[in-house]
Amino acid sequence: MKKGAYLFLAAGILPAVATAQDRPNVVLINLDDAGNGDFSFKGAVGYTTPNIDNLASQGMNMTNFYAVQPISGASRAGLLTGCYPNRIGFAGAPGPRSRTGINPEEETIAELLKKNGYATAIFGKWHLGDSEKFLPLQNGFDEYYGIPYSHDMWPFHPQYKYPDLPLIEGNKVIEYNPDISQLTTSYTEHSVDFIRRQTAAGKPFFLYLAHSMPHVPLAVSDKFKGKSRQGLYGDVMMEIDWSIGEVLKALKETGVYGNTLVILTTDNGPWANYGNHAGSSGGLREAKATTFGGGVRVPCVIMWQGKVSPGSVCNDLMSNIDILPTIVEATGSPSPSLKIDGLSMVPEILGTAGSPVRESLCLYYHKNSLEAVTDGSWKLVFPHKYVSYEVNFPGNDGQPGPLAQREVTECELYDLRRDPGERLNVIGHYPEVVEHLMEVADRMRSDLGDDLQGIPGKNRREPGYADGANVKK
């Protein structure tokens, strides 16, 4: 599938993998601030993740997978809608009482699968707006238990004062300032219960397990406290691994493991200036909140028994905006009515793609700044200012370390095959590569614009606005 494939998808032309009789269940697990080196099969040190490793051994490891933006809310907006966040007017990480959120006109994975008879649930962090109109039950989910934004957006954040953290069930706050050491366990218990109930009812289901960890402040239940050799961060990762194991066990015990598509990824890279409370980028440059590799290249594992070859590896370029069209095709669900940017990965995961599905990915940040573009092998970085984590004194024990303000002053080109850490600028040696990636960027600027060049773009949609919001368009 090549350029414009999303147009065919939106028109419903792609063949469906599933029939009404064999619709697979879908479990989408999204971690928070985990890095590309945070699983033991990816080289993590001081703790093990046997359940995640087993998932990878039973499925496909996507080695060239990108979060569409390096920040929680925008990344999740892209994940659930299949769109560049700036296409749908979504930016950043909305805090408490945010005036904007997901537009009700945008269709989420849950809404599309619900039209196909699926039961839908999210347990965990939402982060697409905290007004009631933005919450999961108004955006395709039958059930919701979790927090509306990051758990550092409350009075104990090191820099800001926020209202008490709400724990929400359905549309109602059931508790303020819940014990965050119990979040992983409670999300897991709700997930297992949901699987058992839907399986007993004979209904296909979509489970979105959106863990709050390993985002700071870190917290772990007593059953994993002190269990790793990597301090609290290792303990947290071991508990997340336990959680995933419990979900997989529930799928097996209810007899639906063989008919369930499981996808595991993370929203962005690690928050590196938290030092020993931060994850590992696996040697990639920078971290969260930058469009360098450490901020946007994230792990992804896909398991679908009988469809995906066990222990397989895919090195082709993909993004979390490709997850929606992949799930839509795999389940035979209706396609979005509005234009999306994601491409179905089904040919890749089934091993039937003759060539890479995705030819390029544009890396925007902030409201609408095009900071880089990649074709998977090469990356062209445009002039922009950024916050750097590569300083001499990282944070420690929950306190953040200093950051540096840096700037890319001229375009830079990196050969990601030989230099995945983006250390050697080779822009003077490959003019044809630069020309090609510039053309990709110019097409995207015409479509979505670019604040760095003062280009408004033609095809951006409005976000959702909270009732009574002072709308500035």
Q: Rounded to whole angstroms, how far apart are CA atoms 120 and 138?
A: 12
- The pLDDT score that the predictor gives to residue 266 is 99
pLDDT of the residue at 469? 60
Q: Beta-carbon neighbour count of residue 168 at 10 Å?
A: 20
pTM attached to this predicted model: 0.94
Domains and CATH numbers, the chain: 5-12+22-359 (3.40.720.10), 362-460 (3.30.1120.10)
pLDDT of residue 7: 38
AA letter at 116: N
- What pLDDT is attached to residue 89? 97
Q: Which two tokens stand for residue 436?
A: 């090609």
Give residue 172's identity as a one-letter amino acid code. Answer: K
How far is Cα 244 from Cα 39, in angstroms, rounded to an integer?
12
Whether the CB-CB separation of 212 and 151 falls below 8 Å is answered with yes
Chain centroid, CA 92 distance in Å: 13
Digit-by-digit pLDDT tens for the chain (473 residues) are 333 344 334 333 344 455 545 899 999 999 999 999 999 999 999 999 999 999 999 999 999 999 999 999 999 999 999 999 999 999 999 999 899 999 999 999 999 999 999 999 999 999 999 999 999 999 999 999 999 999 998 776 777 778 899 999 999 999 999 999 999 999 999 999 999 999 999 999 999 999 999 999 999 999 999 999 999 999 999 999 999 999 999 999 999 999 999 999 999 999 999 999 999 999 999 999 999 999 999 999 999 999 999 999 999 999 999 999 999 999 999 999 999 999 999 999 999 998 999 999 999 999 999 999 999 999 999 999 999 999 888 889 999 999 999 999 999 999 999 999 999 999 999 999 999 999 999 999 999 999 999 999 899 999 999 986 654 54
Check whether the bond before 214 is cis (ω within 30° of 0): yes
**Cα–Cα dist 320/426, whole Å:** 28
Can you list the alpha helix ranges (DSSP code H) found in 407-459? 431-448
How do strand 119-125 and strand 143-147 relate by DSSP bridges? parallel
347: its two tokens: 């040919």
Given the structure tokens 């969260």, which residue do they identify?
288
What pairs with residue 25 in β-bridges?
260
Look at residue 16 in the predicted model and tell me its pLDDT.
47
* Phi (first) and psi of residue 188, to 5 degrees: -65, -45
For the chain, the distance separating the N- and C-terminal CA atoms, rounded to the nearest angstrom, is 35
pLDDT in the model for residue 17: 54
Burial string for 432-447 (b: 16+ CB within 10 Å, else e) reads ebbebbeebbeebbeb
